[in-house]
């Protein structure tokens, strides 16, 4: 390891207080989503911090009160050396009023080797560590030949895809490092898509006509949309079980492809036969699958289920998939990300992990989802790598280990320095 880099890494212990102060500052910004629309102050701080490090900053409003911030540090030889995106989200998980925290979710406390506060694990710890690594490099005047792009985005907690907006704005690189919760494992991920299945009757009927619909000689062809949705749910369960025995992916527990009937809405009131029923489902799929193919599989199967029913055959279910926001349109997409263990950036990151910790890096599949899938979807190689354990994310007294945060900062600093000096 370059002796100059080692001297910077050694500073992380002696300047631990600065790193923790930075994390506590980020946690103190109240940015839960939902309700969202609250990242303006936090992102203004982020923009100022990046500008002080010499980044040119692009800041734009995605929703009223919610801003993306992207800083670009041009390398000394952009054409000849590898570029890097460092990506993280400023929004954090929602907090219920009745949650009992040690202090308060946005009043961080440092004790017993951890920092406690909402977002410490998911994922302001990753943001703080990466920022501090860049600060040490910039203070030392360490040469970075390749371009560094730092993205602080909004909306990850509610599917608003601030990262996708960055991609559409033209930001790209030879590798994207998503510093989200991974317990310092280098990860890909499966994908998630939500969808609405709607059954709607062309007519509405008084509940007093039900006898005519269900008994011999009634002479009235009609149905309860709620009862017909039961057949659709059964069909989804059959498909889910079929996937469980026919699909697998290395690093994923068997049966990880699930179809969750999460919310059901239907009917008007007790005097009507239910003429409409809506089912909100959440679908998980493997890293080597895409949501377009998954949607096609589900729709094909459910249409066949409908064709086997005399009423549904003439009143096929309707589908609405995904969405840009769980808040605005009750839908989201998190594309999958297949980690390439042979990618030079992944191999370099793994070597830096081993150099710092003395242990071999673990390459795995995240049991959750992050914005990392959007990079894969847009053709940008990416890896998820950040401090924090998933069991602490979204939890009361959310916390991150200080030692793990420092290891993350050491690894990231060393990785940035060498990746930026890697020739294209």
DSSP assignment of 256-307: ---EEEEEEEE-S-TTB---EEEEEEEEEE-TT--HHHHHHHHHHHHHHHHH
Domains detected in the chain: 3-189+337-420 (3.40.630.10), 191-321 (3.30.70.360)
pLDDT at 160: 96
Catalytic residue selected from 147, 156, 240, 332: 156
In the annotation, is 52 catalytic? no
* Chain centroid to CA 25: 23
Q: Which residues of 38-51 are buried (b: 16+ CB within 10 A; e: fewer)?
A: bbbebbebbbebbe
DSSP E strands, 34-185: 56-63, 66-73, 84-89, 92-93, 109-111, 114-116, 148-153, 175-178
Q: How confident is the model at residue 385 (pLDDT cuts 50, 70, 90)?
A: very high
Catalytic residue selected from 91, 187, 240, 332: 91
CA distance 328 to 86: 27
9-13, 219-223, 284-288, 410-414 — which is least confidently predicted?
A: 219-223
CA distance 222 to 204: 9
pTM of the model: 0.94
In the annotation, is 328 catalytic? no
User: Are 249 and 286 a contacting pair, CB within 8 Å?
Assistant: yes
Give the number of other Cβ atoms within 10 Å of residue 78's Cβ. Answer: 13
**Residues 41-92: pLDDT tens digits?**
999 999 999 999 999 999 999 999 999 999 999 999 999 999 999 999 999 9
Structure tokens at 18: 């600065």
The predicted model gives 185-207 an average pLDDT of 96
CA distance 55 to 152: 13
DSSP 123: I
Q: Give residues with Cβ within 8 angstroms of 186, minimum separation 6.
A: 339, 346, 349, 350, 353, 361, 362, 363, 364, 383, 384, 385
Q: Give residues with Cβ within 8 angstroms of 364, minimum separation 6.
A: 185, 186, 187, 188, 251
pLDDT at 332: 97
């Amino acid at each position: 390891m370059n002796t100059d880099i080692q001297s910077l890494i050694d500073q992380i212990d002696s300047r631990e207080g600065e790193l923790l102060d930075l994390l506590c500052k980020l946690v103190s910004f109240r940015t839960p989503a939902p309700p969202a629309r609250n990242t303006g102050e936090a992102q203004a701080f982020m923009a100022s911090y990046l500008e002080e490090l010499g980044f040119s900053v692009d800041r734009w409003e995605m929703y009223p009160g919610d801003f993306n911030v992207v800083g670009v540090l041009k390398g000394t030889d952009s054409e000849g050396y590898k570029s890097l995106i460092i990506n993280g989200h400023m929004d954090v998980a929602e907090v219920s009023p009745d949650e009992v925290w040690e202090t308060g979710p946005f009043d961080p406390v440092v004790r017993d080797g951890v920092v406690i506060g909402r977002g410490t694990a998911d994922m302001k710890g990753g943001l703080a560590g990466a920022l501090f690594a860049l600060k040490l490099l910039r203070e030392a005047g360490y040469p970075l030949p390749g371009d560094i792009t730092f993205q602080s985005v909004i909306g990850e907690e509610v599917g608003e895809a601030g990262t996708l907006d960055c991609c559409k704005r033209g930001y790209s690189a030879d590798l994207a490092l998503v510093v989200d919760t991974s317990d310092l494992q280098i990860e890909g991920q499966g994908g998630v898509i939500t969808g609405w299945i709607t059954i709607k009757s062309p007519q509405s009927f008084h509940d007093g006509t039900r006898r005519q619909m269900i008994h011999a000689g009634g002479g009235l062809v009609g149905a309860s949309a709620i009862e017909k949705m039961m057949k659709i749910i059964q069909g989804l369960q059959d498909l889910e079980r079929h996937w469980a025995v026919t699909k697998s992916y290395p690093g994923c527990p068997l049966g990880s492809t699930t179809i969750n009937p999460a919310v059901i809405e239907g009917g008007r009131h007790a005097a009507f036969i239910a003429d409409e029923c809506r089912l909100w489902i959440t679908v998980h799929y493997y890293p080597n699958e895409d949501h377009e193919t998954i949607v096609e599989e589900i729709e094909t199967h459910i249409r066949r289920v409908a064709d086997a029913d005399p009423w549904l055959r003439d009143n096929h279910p309707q589908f609405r998939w995904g969405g840009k926001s769980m808040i605005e349109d009750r839908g989201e997409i998190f594309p999958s990300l297949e980690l390439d263990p042979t990618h030079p950036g992944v191999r370099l990151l793994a070597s830096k992990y081993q150099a710092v910790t003395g242990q071999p890096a673990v390459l795995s599949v995240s049991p959750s989802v992050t914005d990392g899938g959007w990079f894969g979807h847009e053709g940008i190689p990416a890896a998820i790598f950040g401090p924090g354990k998933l069991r602490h994310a979204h939890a009361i007294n959310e916390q991150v280990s200080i030692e793990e945060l420092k290891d993350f900062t050491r690894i990231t600093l060393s990785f940035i320095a060498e990746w930026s000096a890697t020739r294209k």
